[in-house]
Amino acid sequence: MSLLAVEKLKVCHGLLQAVREVTFEIAPGELVALVGANGAGKSTLLRAVAGAHLPASGRIIFDSADVTALRAYERVKRGVALVPEGRRLFGGMSVEENLLVAERSGRRGSWTLHSVMELFPMLRARRHSLARNLSGGERQAVAIARALMTNPKLILLDEVSLGLAPVVIEGLYRELPQLRRGGTTLVLVEQELSRALSVANRVMCMLEGRIVLDAPVGEVSREAIVDAYFGLGRKEAVPA
């Protein structure tokens, strides 16, 4: 049984079709790397799944329920959390306040203020600091912790490592498999292909608004993924 099923989804920005007739399913507990060049439609797809951008047509089924018409806050209560590109924290609020706002918006579960700070110990000393005064790595940790505070079944991570120092990226990536082992399903948008494939069990590649490759990481070559990324040998890149 799938946790998320997207059926013939079309999402537009004005007259531009950013996502074109996309169909896929994600099972509980998967960690999916969603890759593709800038402008391929990855962020728009995540926003549509999270309810931040309503589709022009198609359906989104989450946890056996049609959520296509639901607003973002309603999907949060059902277990969908988006970590958007740019983090989008409340800059004038403290770390702790950002996290507690998320807790009130989500579901009850094992993720609490204490448990997210166990996962991201760097945040303990900064819990009373304003979000605007944090470093890039600290802001990203808060953004992920904020998503966890809603106790999601599915986390959508958009450009999780963008603009971060390599040592911070390594630390964040060490935590992703732990989240998956805890039962959370993840979709990860990442420009750095090797880094994404190092943690994912499945890769989906988008090109011009369509998914042109969808395969288990262990069953597709890096060359096939790169070909799909750039639109080369599309038929050969997609496993049967």
Across the range 176-183, mean pLDDT stands at 81
pTM of the model: 0.89
Question: Is 4-233 a CATH 3.40.50.300 domain?
Answer: yes
Q: What is the mean pLDDT of residues 222-239?
A: 74
pLDDT of residue 191: 82
Portion of the chain with pLDDT greater than 70, in percent? 96
> Residue range 195-216: average pLDDT?
95
pLDDT for the residue numbered 233: 62
Task: Give all strands (DSSP E) within the chain, no chain letters.
Answer: 4-13, 16-26, 31-35, 57-62, 65-66, 80-83, 154-158, 185-189, 202-207, 210-216
Burial annotation 176-204 (CB, 10 A radius, 16+ → b, else e): beebbeeebbbbbbbeebebbbebbbbbb
